[in-house]
Structure 1
Amino acid sequence: MWSTEDVARATVRRQGEGLSVAQVADKVTEAERREQETRQQLNFPGDHGPYDGDPEDLAEQWVARHAEWRRIAALMDAQGWPVYSPEQDVQGSTWARERDTQREGALARRAAWQMERQDARDELKAQVWLSADVSRRLRAIAARTGLEPEQVLAQLADRVRMDDDGALAVDAFTPH
């Protein structure tokens, strides 16, 4: 759902809160070192253990984190902030709101999709073979009401009730 940059921004924003200029500078240095290390790992494709992640993905993450730490360091320097405050970071706050909006949209789409799946499981699609005589009567009823034969059958099924002895009954009704 989120890009590598989005994840890096959220991570750095969370980790950077309350850090001093010197601490942010240390984070820039650490991110630069980690970026170089992960790039070097790409040059030596070896056997990665079952718990190791994708080395390309890890390298991309550190490139994005390094860029974000540099952005925050430059922002603090330009604004003269002694400590980083995510609330004062206009660009970072804008990105965070955009991520939240994306997440809410994705959650809403997921909920709608799940509801559709539930509705689909609850639906019954049946193919009914009717004798020629019954089929003619059904088509005539449908033609008089302006409905499709399947719609008439669906309305009929809606009104069926089962008696205590298991017999099915339908009260008289007019299809609409």
Structure 2
Amino acid sequence: MIWNPRDLARDTVRRQGAGLSAVQVAAKVAEAAARKRETREQMDCALVDRGPYATDPRELAELWEARHTEWCRVGTLVEASSWTSYDPAQDDQGTSWARERDTRRQGALQRHEAWVRERQDAKDEVHAQVWLSADVSRRLRAIAARAGLSAEQVLAQLAGQARMNDDSRVAVEAFTLSTGEDTYR
């Protein structure tokens, strides 16, 4: 799951800010302001050769902008609440945002797990293309038409009933084609 710069900044500030005094938070605000200014200057520079592993200056600028905003919010909260240090558990807004991020993360994980299960189930399925002679094809289509099924549905039910004997011969006992919707998918 990809978080936006605000999510990253909020998570970082909650972790780094725990236990910091108002003076230390003010230092973090000043550091974030300086980094924000530096990344904006880098963004304005036309660097031709950044290399394949260089960070995108716009992304870095957005991240420091978000961190600066979050450190300012935490600084204001610590000052207004007269706390001796920042405690993320007492920060109602920060806790609410953290819960939202966790909810989104859990949703993304559940969707991914469902996708993985779906892919695993798909591995167990067989999709076959069968070429039949004209005579066999006509008989199959006639059987399918009488049963109100498609030729593929008849073949799927036929394969479901087929058994291999000890002498390696394939046998199918007489059975009635099912027209139920849940029989063939």
Q: Normalized against structure 2, the TM-score is what?
A: 0.86
Matched residue, 1:150: 152
Matched residue, 1:28: 29
Aligned counterparts, 1:46-85, within 5 A: 46=47, 47-85=49-87
CA distance in 1, matches of 2:163, 2:115: 32
Q: Deviations over 1:59-113 (max 9, x none)?
A: 1111100000001111112222111111111111111111111111111111222
Secondary structure at the counterpart of residue 94 of structure 2 = helix
Matched residue, 1:167: 169
Matched residue, 1:127: 129
Name the % identity.
62
Q: Give the counterpart letter for 2:154 in structure 1.
A: V
Q: Give the counterpart letter for 1:124 in structure 2.
A: V
Secondary structure at the counterpart of residue 89 of structure 2 = coil
Q: Give the counterpart letter for 2:103 in structure 1.
A: T
CA distance in 2, matches of 1:29, 1:158: 71
Secondary structure at the counterpart of residue 164 of structure 1 = coil
The Cα of 1:163 is off from its aligned counterpart by 2.7
Determine whether 1:136 maps to 2:166. no
Q: Deviations over 1:24-64 (max 9, x none)?
A: 11100110111111111112232324443111111111110
Q: Give the counterpart letter for 1:98 in structure 2.
A: E
Which one is further off, 120-129 or 11-20?
Answer: 120-129
CA distance in 2, matches of 1:49, 1:126: 48
CA distance in 2, matches of 1:111, 1:99: 18
CA distance in 1, matches of 2:27, 2:165: 79
Matched residue, 1:42: 43
Q: Give the counterpart letter for 1:15 in structure 2.
A: Q
Paired residues, number: 176
Tell me the C-alpha RMSD between the 2 structures: 1.8
CA distance in 1, matches of 2:174, 2:89: 67
CA distance in 2, matches of 1:19, 1:50: 37
Task: From 116, 119, 125, give the equivalent of 2:118.
Answer: 116
Secondary structure at the counterpart of residue 76 of structure 2 = helix
CA distance in 2, matches of 1:45, 1:118: 48
User: Where does the alignment leave 5 or more consecutive residues of structure 2 unmatched?
Assistant: 179-185
Where has structure 1 moved over 6 Å in runs of 4 or more?
none
Which one is further off, 140-149 or 155-164?
Answer: 140-149
Matched residue, 2:10: 9
